[in-house]
Amino acid sequence: MTDALKRLSDEGVAIWLDDLSRQRITSGNLAELIDQQHVVGVTTNPSIFQKAISDGHGYDQQVADLAARKVTVEEAIRMITTADVRDAADILRPVFDATGGQDGRVSIEVDPRLAHHTTPTIAEAKQLAWLVDRPNTLIKIPATKAGLPAITEVIGLGISVNVTLIFSLERYREVMDAYLAGLEKAKAAGLDLSLIRSVASFFVSRVDTEIDKRLEKLGTDEAKALKGKAALANARLAYEAYEEVFSSERWAALDKAGANKQRPLWASTGVKDPAYKDTLYVDELVAPGTVNTMPEATLEATGAHGDITGDTVRGTYAQAKADLDAIAELGISYDDVVQLLEDEGVEKFEASWNDLLKSTEAELKRLAPSEG
Select which of 6, 51, 70, 140 is catalytic: 140
Residue 194 DSSP symbol:
G
Strand pairing class (198-203; 39-42): unpaired
The alpha helices in the chain, defined as continuous H runs, are: 3-10, 22-26, 29-36, 46-54, 60-68, 73-98, 118-132, 147-156, 169-188, 205-218, 221-224, 230-245, 249-256, 280-283, 296-305, 317-329, 334-366
Residue 2 confidence (pLDDT): 54
Confidence band of 122 (pLDDT split at 50, 70, 90) = very high
* Arch. (CATH architecture) of 2-365: Alpha-Beta Barrel (3.20)
How far apart CA 260 and CA 250 sit, in angstroms, is 13
Instruction: Identify whether 140 is a catalytic site residue.
Output: yes
Residue 114 confidence (pLDDT): 97
Q: How much of the chain exceeds pLDDT 70, in percent?
A: 99
- Per the model's pLDDT, the better-predicted residue between 67 and 52 turns out to be 67
Choose the weakest-confidence range: 45-54, 156-165, 269-278, 304-313: 45-54
With CA atoms as reference, report the closest residue to 103 among 163, 42, 175, 176. Answer: 42
Domain-by-domain residue ranges, the chain? 2-365
What pTM was estimated for this model as a whole?
A: 0.96
Q: With 70 as the cut, is the pLDDT of residue 18 above it?
A: yes
Give the mean pLDDT of 364-371. Answer: 88
Query: Per-residue pLDDT tens for 215-254?
Result: 999 999 999 999 999 999 999 999 999 999 999 999 999 9
CB atoms within 10 A of CB 180: 21
Q: Which residues contact 53 (CB under 8 A, 6 or more apart)?
A: 59, 80, 356, 359, 360, 363
Query: Per-residue pLDDT tens for 166-209?
Result: 999 999 999 999 999 999 999 999 999 999 999 999 999 999 99
| Helix 60-68 × helix 73-98 angle, to 10° | 130
| Residue-by-residue DSSP string for 264-317 | EEEE--S---TTS-TTHHHHT---TTEEEEE-HHHHHHHHHH----S--STT-H
Contact 160/137 with Cβ under 8 angstroms? yes
Residue 51 confidence (pLDDT): 86
The per-residue pLDDT of the chain, averaged, comes to 96
Residue 317 confidence (pLDDT): 98
> CA 212 → CA 2, 146, 167, distances in Å?
32, 29, 15
How far apart CA 201 and CA 166 sit, in angstroms, is 6
Q: How much of the chain exceeds pLDDT 90, in percent?
A: 94
Q: Which residues contact 137 (CB under 8 A, 6 or more apart)?
A: 85, 89, 105, 106, 107, 108, 128, 129, 160
